[in-house]
Structure 1
């Protein structure tokens, strides 16, 4: 296998700048112009990683290498996705996980099938909204990291279901878990990012003895970059999972330890909650945008509906002609407001709430919404009816994989907050999620006067909370074209949408599309966020249209792969360190 050098890829993932013009706006003259069909285009500022026989794009270099090894050994994209998912549980503990959940979109080229797996966490029996509230009806800030906030994890069940249903059949389950087991047992080198995060969060993380034991030295000191981190308890858990599959986690030795810690600390997950957990295969939500098919997750993921609704609105405006101008940013912001208002009102777990998906993603509705947009005036959020969903942490992670046969996986999973609840189950090394705080716990609660909360996302036993996670694919005439996704809380949705419009409307290669500065509006609060370094003149024009512009933080960490003929073109987002996109070039 011929791999691109690590130095070359990291240089791609560690610098970015906003382009002044799009490729479509550049002159076709000049000795270096390769034309829009070129793989390497000298008119581009940023260049993608190129491969032919497979590609993995993830937020951690070690996990990317694990996935590539599985592809080399004859595994397909689904096999590789399982191995990457387990590896990230070791090397990216703030988001990669066994104790969380997520969503996966799968494309099987030989079957002409695109499907999804929902392995979102569920609310255990006995838990109610009152567990998150104070006597005055306000949300208890301490409940965010409590044992009450832990949902029944779905990751192990979800990865197993993907492998069992759509794996190649060439790679055993044990062989897919083994790389993560070896990393946990033998240790891996801590990078600067992990060392810094452990240092920043050490006081909180050390409150739980099992977390302190797992992620800090015996004397309590923080692991420095270059130190080896060994996770023996997590290695034990991975060995159990490799040998016994999901039964180890939901009914076996790991389940026993989870239940014991819940009983010890007043948590609500019990044996029945674990045994009854089910990862669900669902048809995707689909839409079209300027001749391309957009495929993403069904609810309780809210991203697919929101992304498709926004794209349907934007289809009514000449973004390619406008370029990345103030007009384009303005109509994007207006589409974001309209879509996020709908998201808060209508999104929920479809097993508990009738989400009107077809209506929300219909072209007819989009036309009515587009007609409401004034090109010269920002619509105040108070003039748009909607409900508010709770904030989500940006500490999620995403990976994209394409194999030599054109099969693909787009997978986003999370512990919710960075390091989840900050609590490791004793004897397992498994960090638990704090996902249940993303339910709308104040919906319909007396005392929550003046607070807009989503009734569709209220707490109910076995229900899955709404999520912004948006693993997405774009197809052209039934063939894979783009695989994308991101962490970032509510900013996930808009980050993914902007990748799609940068590629389709502005004819950018995937690296250019990734490196462009992003914007974000989520209807409430009524604020248009711009990334640091955003064009100041454009920002001023947006203010003149009435937007409350604020320069905030970077948005997302997209891991993307584009298919162009026989080539795979990939890019890791420079917004978070340590990511790696790498391809097999043979």
Structure 2
């Protein structure tokens, strides 16, 4: 994977104020659930570093957020080693089973089989998250895997209170989840669907985690757990093999890096589409002083940058181990300048006027956590099972809810997936291939500050991270960044989608006069979803080097999330 370095390097160390501290004064962790945040702090207190804490946070989220992620899914981990200054991207994305060819997702009449793509065994890719835990522990952590997984095992065995979002999500997916014997055994253990306030225990998942803790990679991808996974998939009509399960491998890739104003941005490379899109959008916007523009003009330019980046996402991006991606072109400032030249400052560009053919170039789903430790190590981790509760299928005896990431492939070229984004040959499924993702864990670093951020939200992840970066650039503190109102455009459909009241009525009117169309919350006639809605669950932490202080921001849209700072942690 090419390391993109297309702008002047970040300011040299001697350009930083002489009094700048060498390391943060403690630990900051932000995640989507307070139990996961605390798990990370507990592991650091036992002598671990940010990478051990990442295992603890990620595995605990896998227990307490089955609606968003789990051992049956995958994720991306962006790491920074405080001692060496090295950044690395850990790709634990799911892979396609050999049997999952595009024809398997078509109905007899040739139409796309949406149910098979989203529900049950054919929707699931080979999980990557357990392998990521082993990789992090063996290569970057300081503690044995059994120590870092202990909080998750305890929480799975002893249980935790069901929260409102988890109960609502179950009701939305109940029909699918109750198709499967293994899922019913977990979610109908007391004969009734889970409801808010119930104590939710997962003894099978605890035993699966214990085998992983004791045996490492073989404890999940071989042996007893593997046998149960394969049997459960086969019983529901799926076709996984022991060879492809045991053959799963984590990939280490070079992150994308570029400069935006005073910030060095380090972010996710393919098979994430997020880093390339961020690079394009911010390089387009780099020519404008957004702080001097009114809300309507600023929003117009941001939307036009989104529109162009998502158009390129549709055609060019996929798994770099399988397809040639024109990275030099897509991330070039000259290419961004060409895109910028197509923007009319006073008028929206209809998406169908941006070529729908390739040119000769080369929300509540998912979860995120951010960590900085006292040694200067950093982790931005984003993980998922795709849609709410993934495929809905738990192979009996495992407690492992399988993902439905196969829908993130272009299973039928030009047909939108569940998030409304399309793809073509670059993202077509092949055995062992990783599906394109929007997950965008990101670092920001300036002479004065370091920030870690990311969020769930399907295709909206990329634009939420963009807005978060623009918030930091405007001088906002982490909690304000996490709370920023959100809007989104993804080329097709040609609509600005936004949270309720994200833009003022006057701004909406001005943008509509420029030719923009809106997906208005609550207005079914304009594509709305009903009542007032919000999206995302951004988690971010910041180290201010000028004051040597740590701060965290946890999205106020999620009442069970938590950002915690422990100052004066000893440096080891």
Q: Which TM-score applies when normalising by structure 1?
A: 0.86
1:161 Cα offset (Å): 1.0
Residue in structure 2 matched with residue 110 of structure 1 by the alignment: 83
* Cα distance change on mapping 1:347 and 1:394 into 2, 3 Å: farther
Give the secondary-structure state (helix, strand or coil) at the position aligned to 1:201: helix
1:246 aligns with 2:228: no
Q: Which blocks of at least 5 consecutive residues in structure 2 are unaligned?
A: 1-23, 416-420, 522-532
**Are 1:495 and 1:555, in contact at CA under 8 Å, matched by a contact in 2?**
no
Please list, as runs of the form range in 1=range in 2, the aligned pairs for 1:415-430 lying within 5 A after superposition.
415-430=385-400
Given that 1:376 and 1:545 are in contact with CA atoms closer than 8 Å, whether structure 2 keeps it comes out as yes
Q: Distance in 2 between matches of 1:560 and 1:453?
A: 30
1:307 aligns with 2:278: yes
How do residues 443-462 of structure 1 correspond to structure 2 at under 5 angstroms? 443=413, 453-462=423-432
Q: Could you tell me how far apart the structure 2 residues matched to 1:452 and 1:65 are?
A: 39
Alignment of 1:562-577 (within 5 A): 562-565=542-545, 566-577=548-559
Residue of structure 2 equivalent to 1:75: 48
Tell me by how many angstroms 1:572 deviates.
0.7
Q: Deviations over 1:394-447 (max 9, x none)?
A: 5111111111111110010100111110011110111001111211111289xx
Q: 1:213 aligns with which of 185, 198, 202?
A: 185
Aligned partner (choices 511, 527, 535) of residue 495 of structure 2: 527
Partner SS state of residue 286, structure 1: strand
| 1:188-203 superposed matches below 5 A | 188-203=160-175
Q: Which secondary structure state, in structure 1, belongs to the residue aligned with residue 99 of structure 2?
A: coil
Matched position secondary structure for 1:278: coil
Corresponding residue for 1:160?
Answer: 134
Cα offset for 1:251?
A: 1.3
**Other-structure match for 2:233:** 262
The residue number in structure 1 matching 2:538 is 558
Q: CA deviation at 1:581?
A: 0.7
> C-alpha root-mean-square deviation of aligned residues, in Å?
1.9
Query: Structure 1, residues 528-551: CA drift from partner, whole Å, max 9, x if none?
Result: 112101211111111111100222
Distance 1:227 1:300, change over 3 A: same
CA distance in structure 2 between the partners assigned to 1:387 and 1:128 by the alignment: 24
In the superposition, the TM-score normalised over structure 2's length comes to: 0.88
1:275-295 deviation digits (Å, cap 9, x = unpaired): 111000110011110131111
Q: 2:455 — aligned with what?
A: 486
Partner of 1:66: 39
* CA displacement, residues 164-198 of structure 1 (integer Å, 9 cap, x when unaligned): 1111x2x2110011111111112222223323333
Aligned-pair distance for 1:521? Answer: 0.3
Distance (whole Å) between structure 1 residues aligned to residue 465 and residue 260 of structure 2: 14
- Could you tell me which runs of 5 or more consecutive residues in structure 1 were left unpaired when the two chains were aligned: 1-50, 446-450
Q: Which is worse superposed, 377-386 or 189-198? A: 189-198
- Distance in 1, Cα, partners of 2:423 & 2:226: 34
Q: CA deviation at 1:575?
A: 2.1
Residue 43 of structure 1 corresponds to none
Q: How does 1:107-186 map to 2 (within 5 A)?
A: 107-143=80-116, 144-167=118-141, 169=142, 171-186=143-158
Residue 405 of structure 1 corresponds to: 375
User: What's the offset of the Cα at 1:452?
Assistant: 6.7
Q: Tell me the secondary structure at the aligned position of residue 301 of structure 1.
A: coil
Q: Distance in 1 between matches of 2:382 and 2:195?
A: 28
Contact 1:193 1:578 in 2 (8 A): no
8 Å Cα contact 2:160/2:200 also seen in 1: yes
C-alpha displacement of 1:90: 1.0
Q: Say which is worse superposed, 252-261 or 327-336, in terms of deviation.
A: 252-261
81-90 or 571-580, larger mean C-alpha shift: 571-580
Q: For residue 219 of structure 2, give the secondary structure of its aligned residue in structure 1.
A: helix
| 2-structure distance, mates of 1:394, 1:526 | 23
In 1, are the aligned partners of 2:95 and 2:125 still within 8 Å (CA)?
Answer: yes
Contact 1:344/1:387 (8 A) holds in 2: no
Tell me which residue corresponds to 1:275: 246
Q: Tell me which of 88, 94, 98 is aligned to 2:71.
A: 98
CA distance in 2, matches of 1:108, 1:386: 42
8 Å CA contact 1:149, 1:435 repeated in 2: yes
Is the CA contact 2:449–2:544 (under 8 Å) kept in the aligned structure 1? no
Give the SS at the match of 1:442. coil
CA distance in 1, matches of 2:231, 2:498: 46
| SS in structure 2 at match of 1:431 | coil
| Aligned match of 1:379 | 349
Contact 2:92-2:251 at 8 Å conserved across structures: yes
In 2, the alpha carbon distance for the partners of 1:528 and 1:193 equals 26
1:353 alignment partner in structure 2: 323
* Aligned partner (choices 484, 494, 497) of residue 516 of structure 1: 484
- Aligned: 1:468 with 2:438: yes
Q: Distance in 1 between matches of 2:35 and 2:364?
A: 21
Assess if the C-alpha contact under 8 Å between 2:68 and 2:364 holds in 1.
no
Report the Cα offset of residue 344 of structure 1: 0.8
